[in-house]
Amino acid sequence: MKAVVISKPHQAAYSEQPRPQVDEGQVLVRVAAVGICMSDVEILEGTRPAPYVRYPVIPGHEWCGTIVEVGPGVVGLQAGERVAVEGHNFCGACFWCQRGQTNLCASYNEFGFTLPGGYAEYVAVRADLAHSFPDSLPFEVAALCEPAACAGHGLQRASVQPGDTVVVVGPGTVGLLGLAWARLFKAQRLVAVGLDRNNEALARTMGATDYLTVGEDPLSFVRDATEGRGADVVFEAAGSQAAVPLALGLARRGGTVVLAGISGGGQKVALESDLFCLNDLRLQGIFAYPSAVFVETLDRIAAGLLDVRPLISHTFPLEEYASAFELLCSRREPVGKILLKP
């Protein structure tokens, strides 16, 4: 089969690879569409933290396809079914897995990072990680389930109430999907805050009622829009340390701040030590998504409740992955989610 293999940092090739064998309890999935994530670029550039990647690797963790072969012992799945596959190949037995926090499994193992991922014609996966969806849902849309689940985990933790004011800091893929979730939870005012105006149109399509750049004093704007209170919920998906104090400052007393962005490099942020107590502030960090949230996200996308479709901006054949990476990094035109098709 054809696949993109990153053998080590700065060395990738579209090449012929052995088609994976299906073991007991596994299914073989023919990949239909795979989204490009910035973390795929990090694998290529060698900037991903060492415990979270194993070279050589076939990247791709935002993908779906059709089951073409079912291994021994698999029940409930058949060849021909369309499936989206969750990213974490969790153990199911550790302290966290037992509590349903499969995203925190003690033995990290993830498709596209430490296991062969979706930049390939075929991937063999454990059957319980493959979740079927109806034929009426296009593959391109189902491929967005993975990043949508990341955002969904955060917005669910925030307990958004109807009528809330929600601010999204960082309107990249996860931030934009956060807007879609906040809209689903019936937030009334949805403010997106970005570094520039590049994603404004996309943010508005995904549900933003207001769009500001960081230079436009978002703190004053949000306070003015909420009778001086601040936002009920702030969802940070910027992945820069400057976004953390901004997100905390935007929340009202008694509000909730969800931090989903990872800035990396062990950077430190200075915060007023009484900020949390005095403001009765709830701070929630999130890492990926538990299995149950992935399933719920797929169901909501399939039911048409969570509209992720506007996010798809480009589609490339898999062999043109290098041009797609270049487009994602240069952003010489507005870029939402770029998909690859094997």
Which span (26-34, 99-107, 236-244, 326-334) binds Zn ion, by CB under 5 A? 99-107
- The closest of 252, 234, 243 to 167, measured between CA atoms, is 234
x-or-dash pattern for Zn ion, window 6-25, by CB under 5 A?
--------------------
- The smaller minimum CB distance to Zn ion, of residues 1 and 91, is found at 91
Place of tokens 């596209």: 112
- The smaller minimum CB distance to Zn ion, of residues 68 and 262, is found at 262
**Contact predicate 133/146, CB 8 Å:** no
Shortest separation between residue 107's beta carbon and Zn ion, angstroms:
6
Among 5, 28, 32, 37, binds Zn ion (CB under 5 A): 37
**338 lies in the binding site for Zn ion (CB under 5 A):** no
- The closest of 206, 212, 209, 210 to 176, measured between CA atoms, is 206
Shortest separation between residue 310's beta carbon and Zn ion, angstroms:
18
**97 lies in the binding site for Zn ion (CB under 5 A):** yes
The dihedral through the CA atoms of 88, 93, 95, 97 has a sign that is: positive
- The smaller minimum CB distance to Zn ion, of residues 91 and 124, is found at 91
The set of long-range contacts for 223-232, using a CB threshold of 8 Å and a minimum separation of 24, is: 225/165, 225/189, 225/191, 226/165, 226/189, 226/252, 229/253, 230/255, 231/164, 231/165, 231/166, 231/167, 231/191, 231/255, 232/160, 232/161, 232/164, 232/165, 232/166, 232/256
- The smaller minimum CB distance to Zn ion, of residues 36 and 222, is found at 36
**Contact predicate 133/82, CB 8 Å:** yes
Q: For the segment 66-95, give every residue that binds Zn ion (CB under 5 A).
A: 90-91, 94
Shortest separation between residue 314's beta carbon and Zn ion, angstroms:
16
Among 105, 169, 179, 324, binds Zn ion (CB under 5 A): 105
Shortest separation between residue 148's beta carbon and Zn ion, angstroms:
11
Shortest separation between residue 38's beta carbon and Zn ion, angstroms:
7
Which span (31-39, 41-49, 124-132, 323-331) binds Zn ion, by CB under 5 A? 31-39
Name the pairing type of β-strands 62-70 and 82-85.
antiparallel
Name the pairing type of β-strands 189-194 and 210-213.
parallel
By CB under 5 A, name the binding residues for Zn ion. 37, 90-91, 94, 97, 105
